[in-house]
Structure 1
Amino acid sequence: MNRRKMLFGLLGLGCLAVGTVARGTVLPMASLVSEAGGDYVLVAALSGVALLASLPVIASGRESELRQADTPDPEVPARVPPAGREFDETVRGWDYRTPVLGDSARQRVKTRLRTAAVEAVMRERNCGRSRARQLVRRGEWTDDAEAASFLGGPKRSTLATAVAALRRRQTPAEFRARRTAEAVYAVDGGTDR
């Protein structure tokens, strides 16, 4: 505790003790009240003493001595890329679209789509991994013939696929990959866009 607070606390206790013990024995209160001019003057004097005693307490609680906690900055949501962004960037990339040079990129996308299709079939049909792989390999996992043939085997694009891709301003490989991704999404519980 602060020394000043301790001193004023002891002074107050001392005054209380003196007032309690001397209540009529040492100081004749009735004659003191009549000499002072009435009860009002005595109450005013005691109020003045109380006010003087409270000044140091008020002064010690100045604003400069207060320490307030600062609130932290509000949290902001973490920025994450939208779902499918990496797929879109890969399929739009020049290395995927190039006929001969893009074979490895196309194979990576095809492998990822095949894995996603197997997992979606496992969830949708409640079957094991080997059964789901077999369904994907045979093309029996979706009603979309383009997606089924893309993951089912090494079959290349047909003329109808090339025309459909041209209408969408895509290469046949990009068109087939996007159709397969949409079919996987539909099998996994999504809706067609």
Structure 2
Amino acid sequence: MDNFSRTSIRRWIMLAAFILVATAILITGIAAVDPSLLDILRHPREGVFLITGFLVVALFSGSLLSIPLYLDPKDTSTKPEDADTDAYEPEVTPEIPHAGAEIEPLTGNPFLGYRVTDDEQEAIRTRLRDAAVTMTHRHTGIKMEDASARVQRGDWTENATAAWFLGETPPPRSVRLYARVSDGHAFRHGARQTVHEIVAYEQRHESRRTHSP
């Protein structure tokens, strides 16, 4: 959940709590000034209902007011440097250079957000694998066959999800959890992780080449 969402939740919770408190105060005030205005609410057991109602309102309002205290206070920060983004999985694929250009048409297509057929899954997996092999070949200087074998073994990355998606390694825990929901969710998770790992691989090696003496 992003910073804006949590801030919105806190605001709505506070608003609901204040409305409940204001309603209770209003009813109490009306009862003190002119009880006849509350005749519509009259009931043979009004005393019990009144006490119960106030207790419910008080407890519910107190609970609502206390919830924001347990939300991460860093979520209120609007400074990018103050936000902890390590725990968040990126939702937007950054610009892909060089070998990643082979998968750029995929990132422009919202294939991560809708149901993908078996044929489409295989096509996506093949294009991502080709991009990873080409990238590994170019940056390491090894033969294409060796680069393909490295990708197949999952040795091209430390990202277990990306290694599983393009190779023959066992699925990591995150993939197994997604698979409990559906195979489609597991596939989209693997594709998303693979795209970002290819981008990160490219950027790391480009940065090293740029800063090398």
Same fold by TM-score greater than 0.5: no
Q: Which has the higher contact order (CA 8 A, sep 6+)?
A: 2
Q: Decide which structure has greater helix share.
A: 2
Which of the five TM-score ranges fits, normalised by the shorter chain?
Answer: 0.3 to 0.5
> TM-score with structure 2 length normalisation?
0.41
Per the normalisation by structure 1, the TM-score is 0.44
